[in-house]
Amino acid sequence: MLENTCAMGTRDKRVDAYIEKSADFAQPILRYIRELVHEACPEVEETIKWSMPAFTYKGMYAGMASFKEHCALNFWKGSLFLPGPKEKDGMGGFGKLRSLNDLPPKKTLLGYLKEAKRLDDEGISVERPKPSKEKKDVVVPPFITAAIKKNKKAQATWDGFSNSHKKEYVEWITEAKTEETRNRRVQQMLEWLPEGKARNWKYERC
């Protein structure tokens, strides 16, 4: 999965696949961010975390993602150096990125990336709130539950899934704009579940 780019840094072919499968508007944004990350921190290593491209350097460094109509860039320790609110109208500290113009100037963004590297080099950490121990059940529409019950292997996989995996399937199916698309996604789910596959199995580490 990994390719060497220099003495220490790596690129991950799964990130290539993620970018290629992203919307046309998102691809240049993701490629631009990726190249700047490697320019600012040549030792950075790529991986996939939470089904999205992530960059690590002495720990979590930064991450990026694409959605239907926007992209996002976030820094693991962004709260220590990014100006203004850290959560705007989208994930990360830069709001919803719909074009390269939504990003800060190259010099500014490189400065943020180098500052993130400096924090990692100096071992400076950021305090994060402890996650709630309370588990919230995912609300599964009856038509999804009924479809899964018809296949014992699918049901077994579903019962063993975490709430996050169940939520990924539920959101993917219920966000379909037409009934035809929704039914097609249900059938795809019923093909993947007996094989033990999560919704984003293609991006998970082997």
**The three-state (H, E, C) secondary structure of the chain, written as one string:** CEEECCCCCEEEHHHHHHHHHCCCCHHHHHHHHHHHHHHHCCCCEEEEECCEEEEECCCEEEEEEECCCCEEEEECCHHHCCCCCCCCCCCECCCCECCHHHCCCHHHHHHHHHHHHHHHHCCCCCCCCCCCCCCCCCCCCHHHHHHHHCCHHHHHHHHHCCHHHHHHHHHHHHCCCCHHHHHHHHHHHHHHHHHCCCCCHHHCCC
Domain boundaries, the chain: 2-121, 142-203
Kindly report whether the global pTM for this prediction surpasses the value 0.85: no
Q: Please give the class, per CATH, of domain 2-121.
A: alpha beta
- Render each residue's pLDDT in the chain as its tens digit; 206 residues: 555 444 467 899 999 999 999 999 999 999 999 999 999 999 999 999 888 999 999 988 999 999 999 999 999 888 888 876 544 444 567 889 999 999 999 999 999 999 999 999 998 887 766 655 555 678 888 899 999 999 999 999 999 998 888 999 999 999 888 989 999 999 999 999 998 888 887 765 44
